[in-house]
């Protein structure tokens, strides 16, 4: 893996639309990946970021609900159990800039994951954190906010999604891919 190439990956890149692979071992490369993810999340003023969002098809995401580097938590090979009622709130996504959608998410969840020391842990979440966990977990499953939009929201986002597809195709052709 080439850390210099780890930049925000935009829709419709295939890595964003396929399930991510499990991390087999916590290596220095995984640690570098997480460091780069933190840098990118902070740079783009996000509260979470999944590895597929920087083009790496691995089951890793980070969350910092206040966007502060010192409050970033790492979730490797996470499992999530949702509970409670559904609640709709507007969400955006660093990989689909300019597109916002009211997405229904569960109000509570328990996440079990591995940290960078290889230790399994569990924690419960509510509020913005529970939304961030579900959003980032969706990325590991190959699900984007556009996949959670209703027909009316998709119609209103159609122009921006088309623009992102065209820009992606231009970039692919320019790079000879």
Domain coordinates in residue numbering, the chain: 3-175
The structure's pTM equals 0.92
CATH of 3-175, one of 3.40.50.410, 2.102.10.10, 3.40.50.300, 3.90.45.10: 3.90.45.10
Catalytic one of 136, 141, 166, 169? 136
Phi, psi of 78 (to 5 degrees): -70, 150
Report pLDDT for 174. Answer: 85
According to the per-residue pLDDT averaged within each range, which of 22-26, 63-67, 88-92 is highest?
A: 22-26
Q: Residue 101: is its pLDDT beyond 70?
A: yes
How far, in Å, CA of 145 to CA of 68, rounded?
24
Provide the pLDDT confidence category of residue 96 given band limits of 50, 70 and 90. very high
Q: Residue 2: is its pLDDT beyond 70?
A: no
Report pLDDT for 111. Answer: 97
Q: Residue 4: is its pLDDT beyond 80?
A: no
The pLDDT mean for the chain works out to 93
Is 24 one of the annotated active-site residues of the chain? Answer: no
Q: Residue 141: is its pLDDT beyond 90?
A: yes
CB environment 150-173: b (16+ within 10 A), e (fewer): eeebeeebeebbeebeeeeeeeee
Provide the pLDDT confidence category of residue 176 given band limits of 50, 70 and 90. confident
* Tens-digit pLDDT profile for residues 142-164: 999 999 998 999 989 999 999 99
**CB–CB of 65/132 below 8 Å?**
yes
- Other Cβ atoms closer than 10 A to 107: 15
């Amino acid at each position: 893996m080439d850390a210099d190439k780890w930049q925000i990956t935009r829709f419709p890149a295939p890595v964003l639309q396929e399930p991510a692979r499990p991390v087999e071992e916590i290596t220095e490369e995984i640690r570098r990946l997480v460091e780069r993810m933190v840098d990118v999340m902070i740079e783009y003023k996000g509260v979470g970021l999944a590895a597929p969002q920087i083009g790496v098809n691995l089951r890793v995401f980070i969350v910092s609900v206040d966007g502060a580097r010192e409050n970033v938590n790492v979730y490797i090979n996470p499992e999530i159990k949702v509970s409670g009622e559904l609640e709709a709130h507007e969400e955006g996504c660093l990989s689909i800039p300019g597109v916002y959608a009211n997405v229904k998410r569960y109000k509570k969840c328990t996440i079990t994951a591995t940290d960078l020391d290889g230790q399994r842990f569990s924690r419960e979440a509510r509020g913005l954190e529970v939304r961030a966990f579900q959003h980032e977990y969706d990325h590991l499953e190959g699900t984007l906010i556009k996949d959670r939009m209703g027909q009316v929201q998709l119609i209103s986002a159609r122009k921006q999604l088309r623009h992102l597809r065209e820009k992606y195709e231009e970039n692919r052709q320019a790079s000879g891919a």
